[in-house]
Amino acid sequence: MRCTNCGYEIPDGELYCKRCGREIRIVPDYNPLDDVLAAQVKGGIDGGERPLDDYDYEQSYTSDLRRGEAQRAERRKKEQTRSMRHTSAMSGKTARTSGTGRVSRGTGTAGKRASQGTGNMNPDRERRRRMAEKKREKKKRLRRKIIIGFIILIAALAVAVFFLYRNSYAGQIRQGNRAFSEGNYEEAENFFNRAVDKDPKRGEAYTALSKVYLARDDEDGAEELFLNALESYPDEVPVYEACIAFYVDTEQPQEVSAILEDAPEDVRSELSEYVSEGPTFSLDDSEVFDDVQQLSLESDGEAIYYTTDGSDPDTSSQKYSEPIQIPEGTTTVSAISVNAAGIPSLPVVKEYTVEFPIEDAPAVTPSTGQYEQQTQIVIQVPEGYTAYYTMDKSDPTEKSTKYTGPIDMPEGNTIFKAVLVNGKGRLTGVTTRNYELVLN
């Protein structure tokens, strides 16, 4: 059967067209005049006693009306029966999904309600219900499409973010660390170098690269890497931090002060915890002292270490605890201060000179003259001095003959010269005597 409105093919048992929603007419509308006309034509053919004009229209019309009413009632009954069967079938499905044991009860109740509802069902209401069902189904499909599209969008964004991260600075570092942990040093170095190229002002890539150098026992190469980075980016705190961490890890804390010495003031301010200032000296090394001195050292750090032999001090050198004695002569004092972070300062070096007042030329007896009997020459040697002499007219030095006691005057003419030398090698003036010994 086709719909008289839109031509849609309607399956058997359907009461409304699914395409346009219009009610299906199973039985044509009844017209009583058709029955009257049919009866007249039949009477004329059969040769009945009453002519066509004498036909009992009233009786026939009344009879036909009743018959039409009966037919319409029969049609409504059939429609109600079909609707009730359809409703019962739907109720039976619902009952079966709820459990086998309740199917009979559910069906009976649903059937009763369907029977009650179908008799009063409004065709327009049923049509609106079906249209509402279609709209809900359409919305469900739209929601499913939106959800699927959203999921696809999220997946695409995740893939894009993944590839962006993989090629980012952090992504290169992560891949390099993975390769390094697997022992693929060459691959790790490539990743870290790409990270440096992406952002050479950050420190993580330099630190990671230094680990590759150290794994190859190339500590000098690692240090050169940092020094070159500092030369290229002298104002970048992250590069300094990476270099400082390298020196601390390789037990070279003394080098930290070396790289911070010439760093810009703002960098030193940012890294103040690593800055270690050298100790201050209580004595001015430009002065020459004439007596033994005591040198005091002070510092804001945790400890001070020093040497007095000209060597560079470190944390294994003499720890300062009391003033340092500066003896006669020249003394070189070199000291460092170690701050709370364990970073030693650069050495502070000062050279002190202490010169005691020198004695005059030594006293020598006898005085210059001519002698006729055996005589001894005596030199007066003060404490702390050593006397040296010559008798060949040359000036005496520490390499000349050392005086140990009275000397017999040689026979004939003798030029005798004597000098005193203190403990620091300083020489006094030279005393000269001219002797002539003539023995009878």
Domains of the chain by residue range: 32-116, 169-274, 280-354, 364-437
Residue written as tokens 């009954």? 77
Q: Please, which residues have CB within 8 angstroms of residue 430's CB and are 6 or more apart in sequence?
A: 361, 395, 396, 417, 418, 419
CATH architecture of 169-274: Alpha Horseshoe (1.25)
Residue 199: CB atoms within 10 A of its CB come to 15
Mean pLDDT is highest, among 25-34, 97-106, 185-194, for: 185-194
Q: pLDDT value at position 43?
A: 57
Tokens of 56: 């009992």
Tokens of 414: 């003798």
Cα separations in angstroms, 235 against 55, 241, 260, 265, 266? 124, 12, 11, 9, 8
Residue written as tokens 């270490």? 305
The alpha carbon of residue 56 and the mean position of all alpha carbons in its chain are separated, in whole angstroms, by: 109
Question: Any bridge partners for residue 23, and if so which?
Answer: 16
Q: Please, which residues have CB within 8 angstroms of residue 290's CB and are 6 or more apart in sequence?
A: 354, 355, 356, 357
CATH for 364-437 (2.60.40.10, 3.30.2290.10, 2.60.40.1180, 2.60.40.420): 2.60.40.10
Band of pLDDT at residue 394, cut at 50, 70 and 90: very high
What's this model's pTM, rounded to 2 decimal places?
A: 0.53
Are 433 and 377 in contact by the 8 Å Cβ rule? The answer is: yes
Q: pLDDT value at position 20?
A: 77
Of the given ranges (78-82, 149-153, 188-192, 319-323), which has the lowest mean pLDDT?
78-82
Of the given ranges (64-78, 125-139, 251-265, 390-404), which has the lowest mean pLDDT?
64-78
Asked if the domains 169-274 and 364-437 are classified in one and the same CATH topology, the answer is no
- Whether residue 39 is predicted with pLDDT greater than 70 in this model: the reply is no
Q: pLDDT value at position 156?
A: 83
Q: How do strand 329-338 and strand 348-354 relate by DSSP bridges?
A: antiparallel
Tokens of 399: 């390499």
Q: pLDDT value at position 126?
A: 82
Q: pLDDT value at position 87?
A: 58
